[in-house]
Structure 1
Amino acid sequence: MLSVLVGFTSGLGAVFLKNLTHFFQHLLEGNLVRYYHHAFYFVFPIIGLWFVYFIMKYVLRNKVSHGIPSTLYAIAKRKGIMKQYQMIGSILTAPITVGFGGSVGLEGPTVSTGAAVSSNIARLFHMNQTTRTLLIGCAAAGALSSIFKAPVAAIVFAIEVFSLDLTLASLLPLLLASLSAIITSYFFFGNDILLPFRIEDNFTIKDVPLFMILGLVAGIVSIYFTEVYDRIQSFFDKIESPIKRLLIGGVGLGVLVYFIPPLYGEGFDVINSIIQGNPEKALENNIFSLDPSKTWVVLVLLAGLVLFKIVASSLTFGAGGVGGIFAPTLFMGSIMGYVVAKFLNQFSLFQQSVSESNFALVGMAGLMAGVLHAPLTAIFLIAEVTGGYELFIPLMITAAISFAITKKVHPHSVYTMELGRRGELITHNKDQSVLTLMDMESVIEKNFIPVFPSMDLGTIVQQAIIKSNRNIYPVVNEKTQALVGIILLDDLRPIMFDQSLYNEVLAQDIMQDPPQLIFLGKDKMADVMKKFQDSGAWNLPVIKDGMYYGFISKSKMLTVYRRKLITFTN
């Protein structure tokens, strides 16, 4: 019942986001730019980003993060709990970002909105962490199903990107959410779909080498996509002032959109023109007044769109805009595939003509597989939106090659890049995922009695050994509370009964260096587990801000690990 409710709300979120965005885009680009002045292309993105900034600062009073990464973070580190403002944050900001010319998509914000709603519904009904995570996956499936009318691909997306287990217990809720969302979409949009195309050119076995080439190109472009995105985001992360980020990103985006109008908004109009074999329609208003009827002009302009789309998207994000990376991936993938086919046909390199529309479709799958690290989603999405599986083999070839190449260079997708670096990413690796979900504070024990380096043996016996039920004693600096060593009960046992040594032996004489140190706030649970494995120790001291904080015992850690594993895989 809850999965149906979540699917329905995700579908409504998709409907609202799409309609509001198209209203802004039609009002601005369709009327003001077309009938008044081309310079509005430069102005609108900056105005939209200012609106988004004021909404975040004065209405929401919170920063609206990128849709899918913020959702993955909530699953990994917040036990699937998303704050209430996230239910409306993307709804208020994403349509303005995209409608005013931000070169990003709406899929991520739609997923984020549905995920926040599902998380709060789960909290309302007092669901546990596992169920909350599953309902967030249902929201993701519902959002994608509603947007693309591709229910199977939506389920695969939820499993692939959110690392859900494909079991009967999870498949049925995902199926119901995807179904209720697509019915909602049909109710509001009818039979309208984003990519209205049916395959006309059949696949033949002699096309296999050509699709392998496309897969290679898709892998290279995916690496380019990820590198540019990462470097531009790193550049903006170093700028502390949000106003400065907005000005730099807004002006940069405005300049790009002014000179290259197809970069305005999501770009699905351009995608459809490319797939239907009419690139001239997308390029007719180019600022350079080049004749799009010439093949070399088409190739150069389309290659420029591939190169600059991710730059425009990254500038939008860096300036504080809210959107998703899904649509830019489809945009670049379709153009990339078309350019490869056009190039092969123009120069007759293989003495055979290739289907430019098929290459455009398969190109989208290739780039999705590489950039998003979601090859199965890419295959099923293109197969579903085209209404058949005639391209299934080329989709598999291109997606597999592109994914393999990109994965070798970039282990994490643009969704998971930052979380993966911080060790906060849930994956299909169950051991790694359980360690990620564990809270380090829950395994730290503080019932260890510290001693000081200048303490003599008699004082240690009276104040530590007699009062403690532990067999290890941290030695800390009396002034700074910094850990200087540890004393094991095994080290004390041979001398603790010899009272003649009570005033002669000091703590600093018998202490030893700990085999490893755990740094709270820096080390992740996977690092802690590795330190236990490398050292063979049963207890390791924890340091917080340079001071002794407590110990983690291997037995406590394994007990918590087992409980979390049972919960995670139930």
Structure 2
Amino acid sequence: AFNTPLGGIVFAVEELAKTHINYFKTALFTAVIIAGLMAQTLAGSYLYLGYPKTSDVGLSIMFPVILVAGISGVLASKLSVLMLKINAWTKTLKNDRQQIAFLIASALVIASLAYFVNREILGSGKEIMERTLFTADKHEDWYVPIFRMIGPALSFTSGGAGGIFAPALSAGASIGSVVSGWIHLSPNETNVVILGGMVAFLTGITRAPFTSAIIVLEMTDRHSLIFHLMLAGMVSSLISVMVSKKSLYDLLKNSYLDEIRNNHS
């Protein structure tokens, strides 16, 4: 989706490191590499976001990066817990009528927030990332990160189409944008903090800091920020464990396995 084949490989490595990698490492790595090559062949070597300006940024930017990483890690873990609670609650709905009612209610909430408050709750959030990174309009309102979490939470749990990676990146970008405005950073410093927020929020969801950092690096070609982004990922990974010890995908996997066992018992 992001034309980041290296990120896909690293994600496979980080996920397989949690289990018995020897059983299926060759098949999985081959599949990831083929997928990356096909994406590069069909879509070309493009950047998902582009080249944000990050020059002339001093080491003092590390402190805002750490701050945003901590906030993003906490909020991402809270979002994971919320999504799992909603998902568990939806399983208590006894018939199709109740499930349809929940779906309609979720759609109405999202549509109402988009119409009456801010349209940026809709979609993957790529517009937020592009606007804050590449225009002079770099600072979001304080409530945008909250809405960027509400939208994916309701969409994901109600069965709507869409993934979690892009919404997580845009939520992190909006957090970095808000905090940068509060502490009055320069445009280039703001870009660094926004990228750090993207890495941190995705890490809070996946608990895969290396994957998150490499995905953002491949999206933006900002290899000079490797330390900044890795720092954001590591801080988020450490902080998010305090809220929830396992990633969203681990908890969903356990939930699905329990459901399968219950159906067969």
With the shorter chain as reference, the TM-score category is: 0.7 to 0.9
Within the candidate set 166, 175, 200, 2:54 is matched to 200
Quick one: distance in 1 between partners of 2:234 and 2:43?
A: 34
- Which residue pairs with 2:128 in the alignment? 270
Within the candidate set 152, 176, 196, 2:6 is matched to 152
Quote how far apart the aligned CAs of 1:422 are. Answer: 7.5
> Are 1:397 and 2:255 an aligned pair?
no
Quick one: distance in 1 between partners of 2:188 and 2:184?
A: 7
Q: Which amino acid aligns with 1:307?
A: I
> Are 1:188 and 2:45 an aligned pair?
no
Q: The residue matched to 1:270 in structure 2 has which SS?
A: helix
Asked if 1 retains the 8 angstrom alpha-carbon contact of 2:5 and 2:37, the reply is no
Quick one: distance in 2 between partners of 1:265 and 1:210?
A: 28
Write the deviation string for residues 19-57 of structure 1: whole angstroms up to 9, x where unpaired. Answer: xxxxxxxxxxxxxxxxxxxxxxxxxxxxxxxxxxxxxxx
Asked if 1 retains the 8 angstrom alpha-carbon contact of 2:133 and 2:191, the reply is yes
Quick one: distance in 1 between partners of 2:46 and 2:214?
A: 19
Quick one: distance in 1 between partners of 2:77 and 2:231?
A: 18
Quick one: distance in 1 between partners of 2:111 and 2:176?
A: 27
Asked if 2 retains the 8 angstrom alpha-carbon contact of 1:344 and 1:353, the reply is no
Write the deviation string for residues 483-521 of structure 1: whole angstroms up to 9, x where unpaired. Answer: xxxxxxxxxxxxxxxxxxxxxxxxxxxxxxxxxxxxx95
Q: Which amino acid aligns with 2:228?
A: P
Quote how far apart the aligned CAs of 1:181 are. Answer: 2.7
- Which residue pairs with 2:195 in the alignment? 361
Q: Which amino acid aligns with 1:219?
A: G
Q: The residue matched to 2:55 in structure 1 has which SS?
A: coil
Quote how far apart the aligned CAs of 1:331 are. Answer: 0.9
Quick one: distance in 1 between partners of 2:87 and 2:36?
A: 34
- Which residue pairs with 1:316 in the alignment? 155
Q: The residue matched to 1:322 in structure 2 has which SS?
A: coil
- Which residue pairs with 2:108 in the alignment? 251
Within the candidate set 83, 87, 97, 1:233 is matched to 87
Please state which structure has a larger fraction of its residues in strand.
1
Quick one: distance in 2 between partners of 1:395 and 1:263?
A: 25
Asked if 2 retains the 8 angstrom alpha-carbon contact of 1:306 and 1:332, the reply is yes
Q: Which amino acid aligns with 1:272?
A: E
Asked if 2 retains the 8 angstrom alpha-carbon contact of 1:199 and 1:386, the reply is no
Quick one: distance in 1 between partners of 2:255 and 2:246?
A: 9
Quote how far apart the aligned CAs of 1:333 are. Answer: 0.6
- Which residue pairs with 2:241 in the alignment? 407
Asked if 2 retains the 8 angstrom alpha-carbon contact of 1:159 and 1:165, the reply is no
- Which residue pairs with 2:221 in the alignment? 387
- Which residue pairs with 1:338 in the alignment? 177
Quick one: distance in 1 between partners of 2:151 and 2:65?
A: 28
Q: Which amino acid aligns with 1:268?
A: K
Write the deviation string for residues 278-319 of structure 1: whole angstroms up to 9, x where unpaired. Answer: 447xxxxxxxxxxxxxxxxx543xx22210122122222333
Quick one: distance in 2 between partners of 1:245 and 1:202?
A: 50
Alignment TM-score, normalising by the size of structure 1: 0.41
Q: Which amino acid aligns with 1:275?
A: L
Asked if 2 retains the 8 angstrom alpha-carbon contact of 1:151 and 1:178, the reply is yes
Matches within 5 A, 1:20-419: 147-162=1-16, 163=18, 170=25, 176-240=30-94, 241-259=98-116, 260-279=118-137, 298-300=139-141, 303-345=142-184, 355-419=189-253
Asked if 1 retains the 8 angstrom alpha-carbon contact of 2:125 and 2:166, the reply is yes
Quick one: distance in 2 between partners of 1:263 and 1:376?
A: 27
Q: Which amino acid aligns with 1:356?
A: T
Q: CA RMSD in A?
A: 3.1
Alignment TM-score, normalising by the size of structure 2: 0.82
Write the deviation string for residues 50-76 of structure 1: whole angstroms up to 9, x where unpaired. Answer: xxxxxxxxxxxxxxxxxxxxxxxxxxx
Quick one: distance in 1 between partners of 2:131 and 2:114?
A: 19
Asked if 2 retains the 8 angstrom alpha-carbon contact of 1:375 and 1:400, the reply is yes
Quick one: distance in 2 between partners of 1:418 and 1:215?
A: 24
Quote how far apart the aligned CAs of 1:237 are. Answer: 3.1
Quick one: distance in 2 between partners of 1:223 and 1:320?
A: 21
Quote how far apart the aligned CAs of 1:197 are. Answer: 2.2
Q: Which amino acid aligns with 1:217?
A: I
Quick one: distance in 1 between partners of 2:225 and 2:89?
A: 40
Quote how far apart the aligned CAs of 1:402 are. Answer: 1.0
Quick one: distance in 2 between partners of 1:208 and 1:246?
A: 42
Quick one: distance in 2 between partners of 1:175 and 1:418?
A: 23
Write the deviation string for residues 441-477 of structure 1: whole angstroms up to 9, x where unpaired. Answer: xxxxxxxxxxxxxxxxxxxxxxxxxxxxxxxxxxxxx
Quick one: distance in 1 between partners of 2:39 and 2:106?
A: 34
- Which residue pairs with 1:119 in the alignment? none
- Structure 2 CA distance for partners of 1:355 and 1:308, relative to 1, 3 Å: same
- Structure 2 CA distance for partners of 1:246 and 1:406, relative to 1, 3 Å: same
Say which is worse superposed, 177-186 or 390-399, in terms of deviation: 177-186
Q: Which amino acid aligns with 1:340?
A: V
Asked if 2 retains the 8 angstrom alpha-carbon contact of 1:256 and 1:312, the reply is no
Quick one: distance in 2 between partners of 1:177 and 1:318?
A: 28
- Structure 2 CA distance for partners of 1:174 and 1:247, relative to 1, 3 Å: closer
Please state which structure has a larger fraction of its residues in helix.
2
Quick one: distance in 2 between partners of 1:195 and 1:247?
A: 33
> Identity over the aligned pairs, expressed in percent?
21
Q: The residue matched to 2:241 in structure 1 has which SS?
A: helix
